Amino acid sequence: MQYLFIGGNHPDLTKAELFGYFKRKIKINNLAKGLFLVDLDDFDPKIAIKELGGVIKIAKIEFRIKKNQIEGLAQLMSEKIAKADKKIMFGFSNYGVKIKIGDLAMELKNIFKAGGLSARWVISREPILSSVVVGENKLIDNGAEFILIPIQTDIIVAKTEAIQDYRGLSKRDYGRPGRDDYSGMLPPKLAQIMLNLSETDQTKAVLDPFCGSGTVLTEAALLGVKSLFGSDISAKAIADTKDNFSWLKNNYDLKPFLFLKRLDVKELSKVIKPTSIDCVVFEGFLGPQRGKIDWFREFKELNNLYSSALKEIFKVLKSGGILVAALPLVENNGKKLMIELDLKNWQKVNLGLDEIENRFVTFKNGLIYSRPNQRVKREIIVLKK
- Domain shared by 252 and 344, yes or no: yes
Mean pLDDT of the chain: 92
Residue 154 shares a structural domain with residue 175: no
126 and 222 housed in the same domain: no
pLDDT bin (cut points 50, 70, 90) of residue 29 is very high
pTM listed for this prediction: 0.94
Q: Mark whether 66 and 193 lie in a shared domain.
A: no
Least confident of 84-88, 120-124, 142-146, 149-153: 84-88
CA-based nearest residue to 258, from 210, 208, 223: 208
Q: Do 198 and 81 lie in a common domain?
A: no
User: Residue 181: helix, strand or coil by DSSP?
Assistant: coil
Do both 182 and 246 map to the same domain? Answer: yes
The Cα–Cα gap between 122 and 111 comes to 17
Please report, rounded to a whole number, the percentage of residues in the chain having pLDDT higher than 90: 77
Residue 294 binned pLDDT confidence (cut-offs 50, 70, 90): confident
Residues pairing with 335 in the sheet? 332
What tens digit of pLDDT does each residue of 60-108 get? 999 999 998 889 999 999 999 877 667 899 999 999 999 999 999 999 9
- Do 173 and 106 sit in the same domain of this protein? no
CATH code of the domain containing 89: 3.30.2130.30
pLDDT at 181: 60
Contact 18, 352 (CB under 8 A): yes
Last residue of a domain, one of 148, 164, 180: 164
- Same-domain check for residues 203 and 103: no
Model confidence at 175, pLDDT cuts 50, 70, 90, reads confident
At 296 the pLDDT is 86
Q: Read off the pLDDT of each residue in 163-186 and give the average, rounded to a whole number.
A: 81
pLDDT band at 19 (very low <50, low <70, confident <90, very high): very high
d(CA 86, CA 112) in angstroms, rounded, equals: 12
pLDDT at 184 over 80: no
Same domain, 137 and 193: no
Which residues make Cβ contacts (< 8 Å) with residue 92, sequence separation at least 6?
A: 101, 104, 105, 127, 129, 145, 146, 147, 148
Identify the CATH number of the domain in which residue 295 sits: 3.40.50.150
Which of 164, 179, 202 is the endpoint of a domain?
A: 164
Q: Where does a domain end: 107, 134, 164? A: 164
pLDDT exceeds cutoff 70 at 55? yes
Buried b (16+ CB within 10 A) or exposed e, 57-82: bbbbbbeebeeeebeebbeebbeebe
Q: Is the pLDDT assigned to residue 191 strictly greater than 60? A: yes
10 Å CB burial of residue 253 (0-12, 13-18, 19+) is exposed
CA-CA distance, 157 to 73, in Å (whole number)? 9
Domain containing residue 21: 2-164
Same domain, 175 and 149: no
**Structural domains in the chain (count):** 2
* 143 & 226 share domain: no
Rounded Cα distance, 165 and 132, in Å: 9
333/230 same-domain check = yes
pLDDT (tens digit per residue) in 308-367? 999 999 999 999 999 999 999 998 777 888 999 999 999 999 999 987 777 778 888 899
